[in-house]
Structure 1
Amino acid sequence: MGQCIYCGKPAGFLKKKHKKCEQQHEKGKSEIISLVGKIGAAGGDLHQLERSIERVASMSFIDKNTLKSLLVSGWERAVNIAFDDGLLSEKEESALIELKEHFALPEEILDKNGAYSKLEKGAVLRDIMNGTLPERIKIDVSLPFNFQKTEKVVWVFQGVNYYEEKTRTRYVGGSQGFSIRIAKGLYYRTGAFKGERVQTSETVYADTGLLGITNKHIYFAGSVKRFRIAYNKIVTFEPFSDGIGIQRDAQTVRPQLFETGDGWFTYNLIRNLAQL
């Protein structure tokens, strides 16, 4: 006779759980995530929240390890709720930090799916939009950039793929077959050259490296390519889901694309800094 993995009572021959217990368990998990998500974004009595969570966990056969993961999932949901309007307010940021500290949730676990980084990015954008250069970034790598005296590093992306647009030229429709000598040094008549030049543009991978964002420039440093671009030299910004494309004002310069993994943040960060 097997025992139910939830309530510990007999579950029947070759059975490991009661269907009712399983349903109560899943319902409790969803309820805890919902409770944490709601309070985490709006703020509230965290002690009352803790008591409610303990009550639901007890009724739903939720152990401590499972509860910890549910708190993380709830915090992630709270971050998404906070960003529903596209912006992170100071109140929402404070509520999320208080929730994190109350339940002693480590940053590295909260950032497993990028939620904690999203919180930091939202705070950085809010500072810039309010006309303040943020001082939140923690640089744990040696930067190869030669910054100017009045420059301030705002963000650094690592492992950025850099692409350039190239123009390819080919000829189509030209004469085919054997060449026939017409005169000394000549093998085709003028009218036989009917081929046309066709140019096509394509985006090609150029390098991978660090992308530094300051209050004045965009810096890139890879194993092959290294350059700096002033904001006042950029004429267009193009957002992508995983990065940003820019076009400088020089006629000979082709579009440049940076794959950062977060197009929303990259685009809003650079556009707002360019307007300061």
Structure 2
Amino acid sequence: MDTNSTEPSCSLEALRGSEGVCRFFALISFSSNFANNQKRRVMGKCKYCGKKAGFLSSIHKECEELHTQGLIECKEFVETTLFNPAETSTKITDTLEVFRQKNFLSEDEIRQIIQEEAKYHRVNSTVELNRLRELSAANYLTQKILDENLNSYSEGFIKEKCKQYFDRKIELEAVADSLATYRYRNKDFRDILLDSLNTASRRFLEDGVISDEERSLFNNFVGEFGINIGDLPSKYADSNIIKVKQLTFLKDLQNGEKPNFIVDAAPVILTKGEFFVWVYKGVTAYEERTKSEWVGRSGGASIRICKGVYYHVGQSKGHKVSTQYMAAVGTGFLMLTNKNIIFYSRSKSIKVAYKKIIALQPYSDGVEIQRETSQKRLVFSGFDSWFIMNLLSTLEL
């Protein structure tokens, strides 16, 4: 027998005496503990119910079926009841708790189902909005999704109030009250107001005439909410808002009134009695330029006199050819006053009195001007020309 071995011995010799008996029972205890440890390792618990699941298993088949069915039924329940005004919040939360216990749905799974429904279905009433607030308080809904629904509802509510105002159904104060009633996270009410104003302006333009009542509705709305027509976002550069405002200015001029057009820090000095009617931004000015070059033909022959020196025999007659082209001279502001067209940029400034214009050619994106004092054409590009054409007609110069 190898006395250096650490393994228990079961030989008859080893069993002789008390020492051998102890070693025998130690071997039995070791084997029993090893078997129990291995059994615990392979006997898992069901991840749904928490009870023993059997050898090398972590789920009960029936529990898994209950869970799968619960996900389907919970989704159907949320879709049909979450925004149903006939259902109470208490009933909804109680039913969700039943799904959690009976079908082993986790809070994260229930929360995900609710958030998906709330994300793609926007609330349409205060009842639905309060429902989401209660679910958010119960940690079933994130603050982000709640805010998105709140913004969507607030936007729809405010737009409806604006529409009612332009339909002469409510006073302007009711629109202002709607702004104070509903908070609007991470967005500006100005976007909603401009969108509503643009929609109303399109309706005003349908008959091609702005009535005094429509003019009053428009001006009161703009004044109440401090909308500066001369400083609108770029997406409204050619909007219905601009056209309606321009028509109201033309009507002011026809009535002998001065248009209330606000220009912040104007870079030009106006003459006595002169006032701004409109200002375009991002306009490019072009002036006609002449380019000349000398062209012609030569004839005869060249005779070599010496190395590097030739004498040309014959005749050569050339002539000058001139071509006209339009050269960009700057991009800046085109200001229309009651007396002049004024262009201002860092590289070039141009002033043309209406009375000095002998011809005006309108284009879809600008105008071409022929001046009395110059034969060179002048073009301004980057705006709709209809307003300037109507302005000159209205001023009766």
Higher relative contact order (CA 8 A, sep 6+): 1
Task: Within 5 Å, give how 1:6-155 maps onto structure 2.
Answer: 7=83, 16-17=116-117, 21=121, 39=164, 41=166, 43-46=168-171, 72-99=194-221, 105=225, 107=227, 111-112=232-233, 113-114=235-236, 116-128=241-253, 130-145=254-269, 147=271, 149-155=272-278
Task: Within 5 Å, give how 1:148-163 maps onto structure 2.
Answer: 149-163=272-286
TM-score relative to the length of structure 2 = 0.48
In structure 2, relative to structure 1, the CA distance for the partners of 1:85 and 1:17 (3 Å cut) is: same
Which of 257, 281, 301 is matched with 1:180 structurally?
301
Q: Secondary structure at the match of 1:83?
A: helix
Taking the aligned partners of 2:115 and 2:332, their CA distance within structure 1 comes to 55
Taking the aligned partners of 1:30 and 1:198, their CA distance within structure 2 comes to 65
In structure 2, relative to structure 1, the CA distance for the partners of 1:134 and 1:85 (3 Å cut) is: farther
Question: 1:89–1:126: 8 Å Cα contact kept in structure 2?
Answer: no
Gaps of 5+ in 2: 1-70, 84-88, 93-109, 125-148, 305-309
Question: 2:300–2:312: 8 Å Cα contact kept in structure 1?
Answer: no
Q: CA deviation at 1:136?
A: 0.5
Taking the aligned partners of 1:187 and 1:43, their CA distance within structure 2 comes to 92
Q: Secondary structure at the match of 1:229?
A: strand
Q: Which residue identity lines up with residue 90 of structure 1 in the other structure?
A: D
Question: 1:246–1:255: 8 Å Cα contact kept in structure 2?
Answer: yes
Taking the aligned partners of 2:161 and 2:386, their CA distance within structure 1 comes to 26
Matched, 1:264 2:389: no
Matched, 1:204 2:327: yes
How many residue pairs match? The answer is 254
C-alpha RMSD of the superposition: 4.8
Q: Which residue identity lines up with residue 264 of structure 2 in the other structure?
A: D
Map of 1:246 onto structure 2: 369
Q: Which residue identity lines up with residue 261 of structure 2 in the other structure?
A: I
Question: 1:72–1:105: 8 Å Cα contact kept in structure 2?
Answer: no
In structure 2, relative to structure 1, the CA distance for the partners of 1:125 and 1:146 (3 Å cut) is: closer
Taking the aligned partners of 1:234 and 1:91, their CA distance within structure 2 comes to 36
Superposed CA offset, 1:157-205 (max 9, x none) = 4443211123344577x549x9833799755535xx6x88665433221
Using the TM superposition, name which of 197-206 and 35-44 deviates more. 35-44
Q: CA deviation at 1:271?
A: 4.4
Q: CA deviation at 1:107?
A: 1.8
Q: Secondary structure at the match of 1:17?
A: helix
Question: 1:246–1:256: 8 Å Cα contact kept in structure 2?
Answer: yes
In structure 2, relative to structure 1, the CA distance for the partners of 1:67 and 1:158 (3 Å cut) is: closer
Taking the aligned partners of 1:118 and 1:70, their CA distance within structure 2 comes to 19
Taking the aligned partners of 2:314 and 2:115, their CA distance within structure 1 comes to 88
Question: 2:289–2:324: 8 Å Cα contact kept in structure 1?
Answer: yes
Question: 2:358–2:371: 8 Å Cα contact kept in structure 1?
Answer: yes
Gaps of 5+ in 1: 54-61
Q: Which residue identity lines up with residue 315 of structure 2 in the other structure?
A: R
Q: Which residue identity lines up with residue 80 of structure 1 in the other structure?
A: R
Q: Which residue identity lines up with residue 247 of structure 2 in the other structure?
A: G
In structure 2, relative to structure 1, the CA distance for the partners of 1:131 and 1:45 (3 Å cut) is: closer
Q: Which residue identity lines up with residue 117 of structure 2 in the other structure?
A: K
Taking the aligned partners of 1:142 and 1:100, their CA distance within structure 2 comes to 22
Q: CA deviation at 1:63?
A: 9.1
Q: Which has the higher helix share?
A: 2
TM-score relative to the length of structure 1 = 0.64
Superposed CA offset, 1:76-127 (max 9, x none) = 11012212344433211212345567xx655269943435544432221222
Taking the aligned partners of 2:183 and 2:393, their CA distance within structure 1 comes to 47
Map of 1:189 onto structure 2: 315
Map of 2:103 onto structure 1: none
In structure 2, relative to structure 1, the CA distance for the partners of 1:158 and 1:213 (3 Å cut) is: same
Q: Which residue identity lines up with residue 301 of structure 2 in the other structure?
A: I
Question: 1:207–1:223: 8 Å Cα contact kept in structure 2?
Answer: yes
In structure 2, relative to structure 1, the CA distance for the partners of 1:76 and 1:244 (3 Å cut) is: same
